[in-house]
């Protein structure tokens, strides 16, 4: 079922030869891929050696079980066999996890898009709350957050906010955040103390590199207009805001956060490139037998995935039936206690498919 230590040793040797090739070193993108594969095979080789050693010990103990007559020694051998079986099972699961098909986007930065859904002003306010939550989490793990585009409202919330989050394995940690996030709380303007339910959509798009998505300038329509929004010296004074329309797909991106038209255009193109990559991947998934909804770890944006209940201080993730009564902590960015169980859940679902 698993590659043998000898097979892995040969593969490691071949990868090391590749890593010393000057042509590969000059191609940073390919070199990074091979280096990552080398790191994975190194881990796999170590696990494979341990697995073989444990199974050899298991075979010896089973042999002793047939030959030994002393009752006390037999009991010790039986205990050793149970422990070795448990070790072998743990190592086998670790190997299976390493052999799972890798999501090619796991190492990438992301475009995080948060939009107000049903609920009016309260939904817009929660867009801001969710953005703060993800920003605080990013600060804790050492990621960088750059706002690419936003549509702020005078009440302090956002109709929409798009941010680039860059760092180590951002997509692998946040890819399960895509979906509908529901909030239940009493709005500040509510005089009767009634709880309102609002919804916000979150989309996590892997950042697209230039080589992945080529954009023909002839297929773009670029309109410039004056910035709008609450406050700001540059608002309505200069035509620095940009609207980019990708004619073949009809995708539209607007960016007005920067005072420079060129900077807005650069940010807009980055967002457009990520959306085009996402569309290409969705189209590809539609062609295979399973729909995008049944793909492990894709995260369907039309699905209600989580509820934040303020009166009860409760957060519930509906996909894995996880309920935590630590809303305040979670909104301060302590979301590993949701992210980690989600990753374990989807890995377990994927492992079920390995025969």
CATH number of 217-286: 3.30.160.20
Q: How far apart are CA 230 and CA 62, in angstroms?
A: 76
Residue 141 CB neighbours (<10 A): 13
pLDDT by 10s per residue, the chain, length 355 = 677 778 888 888 888 888 888 888 888 778 888 888 888 889 888 888 888 899 999 999 888 888 777 788 888 888 888 999 999 888 888 887 787 777 888 888 999 999 999 888 899 999 999 999 999 999 999 999 999 888 888 778 899 999 999 999 899 999 999 999 999 999 876 767 788 999 999 999 888 775 567 778 888 888 887 766 554 444 445 678 888 888 888 888 888 877 788 888 888 888 888 888 888 777 766 654 343 333 333 334 456 899 999 999 999 999 999 999 999 999 999 999 999 999 988 888 877 776 5
Between strands 314-317 and 322-324, the pairing is: antiparallel
Q: How far apart are CA 25 and CA 16, in angstroms?
A: 12
- Among 152, 164, 151, 160, residue whose Cα is nearest residue 112: 164
CATH number of 110-211+296-351: 3.30.70.1660
Q: How far apart are CA 225 and CA 217, in angstroms?
A: 19
**Residue 250: left (phi > 0), alpha (psi -120 to 50), or beta?**
left
Report pLDDT for 302. 55
Q: Which residues contact 296 (CB under 8 A, 6 or more apart)?
A: 346, 349, 350
Report pLDDT for 287. 53
Tell me how far CA of residue 80 lies from CA of 51, 203, 261, 308, in angstroms. Answer: 16, 50, 71, 48
Q: Kindly state the tokens that stand for 254.
A: 């607007």
Inter-residue contact 327 to 310 (CB < 8 Å)? yes
Report pLDDT for 176. 94
Counting every residue written for the chain, the total comes to: 355
Q: Which residues contact 155 (CB under 8 A, 6 or more apart)?
A: 121, 124, 125
pLDDT in tens, 94-108: 887 787 777 888 888
Q: Which residues contact 183 (CB under 8 A, 6 or more apart)?
A: 119, 122, 123, 126, 129, 197, 198, 199, 200, 307, 308, 310
- Among 86, 91, 102, 115, residue whose Cα is nearest residue 43: 91
Report pLDDT for 253. 87
pLDDT in tens, 34-43: 888 888 889 8
**Residue 135: left (phi > 0), alpha (psi -120 to 50), or beta?**
alpha
Q: How far apart are CA 88 and CA 128, in angstroms?
A: 48
Indicate the SS3 state at residue 85: helix
Measured CA angle at 341 (ends 171, 277), to 5 deg = 20
Report pLDDT for 291. 32
Report pLDDT for 325. 96
Paired strand residues for 317: 306, 322
- Among 269, 305, 298, 302, residue whose Cα is nearest residue 284: 298
């Amino acid at each position: 079922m698993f590659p043998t230590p000898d097979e892995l040793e040969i593969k490691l040797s071949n990868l090391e030869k590749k890593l010393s090739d000057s042509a590969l070193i000059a191609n940073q993108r390919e070199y990074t891929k091979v280096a990552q594969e080398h790191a994975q095979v190194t881990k796999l080789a170590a696990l494979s050696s341990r697995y073989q050693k444990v199974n050899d010990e298991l075979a010896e103990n089973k042999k002793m079980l047939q030959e030994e007559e002393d009752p006390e020694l037999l009991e010790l051998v039986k205990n050793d066999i149970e422990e070795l079986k448990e070790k072998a099972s743990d190592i086998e699961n670790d190997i299976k996890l390493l052999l799972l098909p890798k999501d090619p986007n796991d190492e990438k930065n992301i475009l995080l898009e948060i939009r107000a859904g049903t609920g009016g002003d309260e939904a817009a306010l929660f867009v801001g709350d969710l953005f703060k939550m993800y920003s605080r989490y990013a600060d804790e793990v050492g990621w960088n957050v750059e706002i690419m585009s936003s549509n702020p409202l005078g009440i302090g919330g956002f109709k929409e906010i798009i941010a680039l989050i860059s760092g180590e394995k951002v997509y692998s940690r946040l890819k399960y955040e895509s979906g509908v996030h529901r909030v239940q709380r009493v709005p500040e303007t509510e005089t009767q103390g009634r709880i309102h339910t609002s919804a916000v959509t979150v989309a996590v798009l892997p950042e697209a590199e230039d080589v992945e998505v080529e954009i023909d300038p002839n297929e773009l329509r670029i309109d410039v207009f004056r910035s709008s929004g609450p406050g700001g010296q540059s608002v309505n004074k200069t035509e620095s805001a940009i609207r980019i329309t990708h004619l073949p797909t009809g995708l539209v991106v607007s960016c007005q956060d920067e005072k420079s038209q060129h900077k807005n255009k650069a940010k807009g193109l980055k967002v457009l490139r990520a959306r085009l990559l996402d569309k290409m991947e969705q189209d590809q998934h539609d062609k295979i037998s399973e729909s995008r909804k049944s793909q492990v770890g894709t995260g369907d944006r039309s699905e209600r995935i989580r509820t934040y209940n303020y009166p009860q201080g409760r957060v519930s993730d509906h996909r894995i039936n996880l309920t935590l009564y630590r809303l305040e902590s979670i909104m301060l960015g302590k979301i590993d206690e949701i992210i980690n169980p989600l990753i374990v859940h989807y890995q377990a679902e994927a492992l079920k498919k390995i025969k």
